[in-house]
Amino acid sequence: MSWIQKTLIVFGAFWLSLWVAPVIGWPLDKLTNRITYTDTIFNALALGIINSLDRTLAAILAGILVTVLVSGRRSELWAVIVAVLYLVNAPRLHWLIPATGWDRIWQGVGLVFPALACMVAAVITARLRGRKSDAGQVVQPSAAG
């Protein structure tokens, strides 16, 4: 498979995940509506994860899709491009008043979490595919023994 085909697969998976994210997000919005958070660091982390959950699930699907469709020994490395695209294509938030440190924490977590989840899913998928292909190989005894 040429690198042009792999690149098209990566960008196609990213584009598809952008269309899937709102579909995933609609039921999640119903589950997470009206939750209040206090001003602790753990709640800032939780808010960042919850606010980016639709993008995170779509990024996980894109990472798995890229790892499965791209052939090669290190197919999970192509998911790095998807993760970088998720970092670049992050939603922009505009504030009427200056954002606090707590606001910046949950924004940062919401930015990084989908990309991180994409890479973790790609690595796990590649390892599982590697084990499955290793289990199917039969070791032949050498004739020189």
Is residue 142 situated within a structural domain? no
- Domain count for the chain: 1
Question: Half-sphere exposure (CA, 13 Å, Cβ side) for 140?
Answer: 3
Percentage of the chain beyond pLDDT 90 is 42
CA distance 59 to 21: 8
Q: What range does the domain containing 62 cover?
A: 3-135
- Judge whether 119 lies within some domain: yes
- Note the pLDDT tens digit of each residue in 36-94: 777 788 888 888 898 889 999 999 999 999 999 998 878 889 999 999 999 998 777 77
Residue 75 lies in a domain: yes
Percentage of the chain beyond pLDDT 70 is 90
On the 0-12 / 13-18 / 19+ scale of CB atoms within 10 A, 143 is: exposed
Q: Where are the alpha helices (DSSP H) in the chain?
A: 3-32, 41-51, 53-69, 79-88, 101-135
Q: Give 120 or 2, the one with higher predicted confidence.
A: 120
Residue 141 falls inside a structural domain: no
Tell whether 144 is covered by a domain. Answer: no
Asked if the structure places residue 17 within a domain, the reply is yes
Average pLDDT value for the chain: 85
Phi, psi of 51 (to 5 degrees): -65, -25
Answer yes or no: are the C-beta atoms of 126 and 67 closer than 8 Å. yes
More confident site: 143 or 53:
53
Q: Which of 96, 64, 98 is nearest to 79 (CA)?
A: 64
pLDDT level of residue 117 (50, 70, 90 thresholds): very high
What letter does residue 78 receive in the DSSP assignment?
Answer: G
143 falls within a domain: no
Dihedral sign computed on CA atoms, order 2, 7, 10, 12: negative
What pLDDT is recorded for position 133?
A: 61
Query: What pLDDT does residue 114 have?
Result: 95
- Angle, nearest 10°, between helix axes 79-88 and 101-135? 170
63 and 39 in contact (C-beta within 8 Å)? no
Asked, for residue 145, whether it belongs to a domain, the answer is no
